[in-house]
Amino acid sequence: MSVSDRLAPFGVTIFSEMTALAEEYGAVNLGQGFPNWDGADFVKRAAAKATVGGGNDQYPPSHGIPTLREAIASRYGPRIGRAVDPETEVTVTCGCTEALAAAFLGLINPGDEVILIEPYYDAYPVYISMVGAVPRYVTLRAPEFALDLDELRAAFSARTKAILVNNPHNPTGRVFSSEELGEIASLCHEFDSIAITDEVYEEMVFDGVHQHLASHEGMWDRTLTLSSLGKTFSLTGWKVGWGIGPESLTKGLRAAHQFLTFTTPTPVQHGAAEALGAPDQFFVDLRDSYREKRDLLSKGLADVGFEVYLPQGTYFLMAGHDHFGLGDDRAFCRHLVETARVAAIPPSAFYHRPDDGGGLIRFAFCKDEATLEEAIDRMAVLV
Ligand code: PMP
Ligand code: GLN
């Protein structure tokens, strides 16, 4: 009895591995991306109200409670530039994680080619393996982590079923430009491919505004936009996500979703509906506070000797550690946790050729100021 061939190569996630090491060494955990404060009270109160005496204990509709689907449709419609039908074009899932798995299982056939932009979120190659698709990689490179448009074009072929676009991008913090998104859109048209987007960091864009790929000309019909509650509302443990797209793609998503989880716990869906109605100022404050954290950690890391690649979005940043001469990213992360008692993530886990991430390290800055300062102080031992 052992793990299936499909999943055996992936082992335990790098996030769990590094969090366990952080705990073992009493380290400040700038590895796994979760905030070290509680989520917004107004959201929790709505979920609590729906729980005790709320009459919400049984299965909700598979695709989500109407109030949440309506809240999603009204928030995204104006941003995507068209009216979104909450009945046929919105599906509530268990986090973006389930939405991604359902999108792959419901839309991709064995042998289809799927383009991944690397470094990628570690789950993506697993979905490829689960459905028996063939990955094609496009690599973002430091310092800009911009899309190489020639490499992007070369990755498309008549067999390309889909491109997976994570924007803003984990782990680099890159926010793709209009030109980059426009090129993805035009290649999707040329090769008759779809786009699956992962936009969980959409509210953490430090300059300018987030652009949905689905809002590009002609892209609504071929884009499944995925996102979730976790990052924006500091509720990563709630696992409420959603997929928005035309009926044809929504059908594929739901075909898998109904058998994966069937539905998402009802009380947290009520909380999510309340969250999405937050005043604009909530989102402005979120961005401002993350920008300050980014700047604090970037400066601290640069002072210690890292080469910092300033992120345009997300709550992660990548840095070069060559200056310290301590080996590859895994060796460096181990040294960091053992000697400085700071945990981070070795990004080689996010490349199909792990050496490409050897000179890099990923830090998460979704931590309060005192914690970030403590981490910076501890890293002084590296100098
Ligand atoms: N996509 C990316 C790029 C992520 O960083 C995360 C974070 N955990 C997820 C998806 C998963 O989102 P969720 O917690 O909503 O499942
Ligand atoms: N998205 C989080 C990160 O990139 C981790 C989520 C997880 O542990 N699966 O750090």
Collect the ranges in the chain with pLDDT lower than 70: none
- Going from the Cα of 295 to the center of ligand 1, the distance in angstroms, rounded, reads 23
Whether 8-39+281-382 shares its CATH topology with 41-276 is answered: no
CB 139 within 8 Å of CB 145? no
Which atom of ligand 1 lies at the shortest distance from residue 97's CA? 16
The CATH number of the domain covering residues in 41-276: 3.40.640.10
For residue 196, the ligand closest to its alpha carbon is 1
Amino acid 41: pLDDT: 95
Query: Mean pLDDT of all residues in the chain?
Result: 97
Amino acid 369: pLDDT: 98
32 lines ligand 2 (CB under 6 A): yes
Q: What is the pLDDT of residues 26-81, one digit of tens each?
A: 999 999 999 999 999 999 999 999 999 889 999 999 999 999 999 999 999 999 99
- Going from the Cα of 105 to the center of ligand 1, the distance in angstroms, rounded, reads 17
Which atom of ligand 1 lies at the shortest distance from residue 166's CA? 3
Spatial distance between the Cα atoms of 17 and 11, rounded to a whole number of angstroms: 10
CB 382 within 8 Å of CB 304? yes
Q: What is the pLDDT of residues 202-216, one digit of tens each?
A: 999 999 889 999 999
Amino acid 208: pLDDT: 84
Amino acid 53: pLDDT: 84
Amino acid 286: pLDDT: 97
- Going from the Cα of 119 to the center of ligand 1, the distance in angstroms, rounded, reads 15
Which atom of ligand 2 lies at the shortest distance from residue 19's CA? 8
Amino acid 1: pLDDT: 75
Amino acid 28: pLDDT: 97
Identify the CATH class of 8-39+281-382: alpha beta
Q: Whose CA is nearest to atom 8 of ligand 2?
A: 15
Amino acid 383: pLDDT: 84
Which atom of ligand 2 lies at the shortest distance from residue 121's CA? 4
13 lines ligand 2 (CB under 6 A): yes
171 lines ligand 1 (CB under 6 A): no
- Going from the Cα of 383 to the center of ligand 1, the distance in angstroms, rounded, reads 34
- Going from the Cα of 321 to the center of ligand 1, the distance in angstroms, rounded, reads 26
Which atom of ligand 1 lies at the shortest distance from residue 198's CA? 1
Return the domain boundaries, the chain.
8-39+281-382, 41-276
Name the β-bridge partners of 313: 205
Amino acid 27: pLDDT: 97
3-state secondary structure string, the chain?
CCCCCCCHHHCCCHHHHHHHHHHHHCCEECCCCCCCCCCCHHHHHHHHHHHCCCCCCCCCCCCCCHHHHHHHHHHHHHHHCCCCCCCCCEEEECHHHHHHHHHHHHHCCCCCEEEEEECCCCCHHHHHHHHCCEEEEEECECCCCECCHHHHHHHCCCCEEEEEEECCCCCCCCCCCHHHHHHHHHHHHHCCCEEEEECCCCCCECCCCCCCHHHCCCCHHHEEEEEECCCCCCCCCCCCEEEECCHHHHHHHHHHHHHHCCCCCHHHHHHHHHHHCCCHHHHHHHHHHHHHHHHHHHHHHHHHCCEEECCCECCEEEEECHHHCCCCHHHHHHHHHHHHCEECECHHHHCCCHHHHCCEEEEECCCCHHHHHHHHHHHHHHC
314 lines ligand 2 (CB under 6 A): no
Q: Whose CA is nearest to atom 7 of ligand 2?
A: 15
pTM, entire model = 0.97
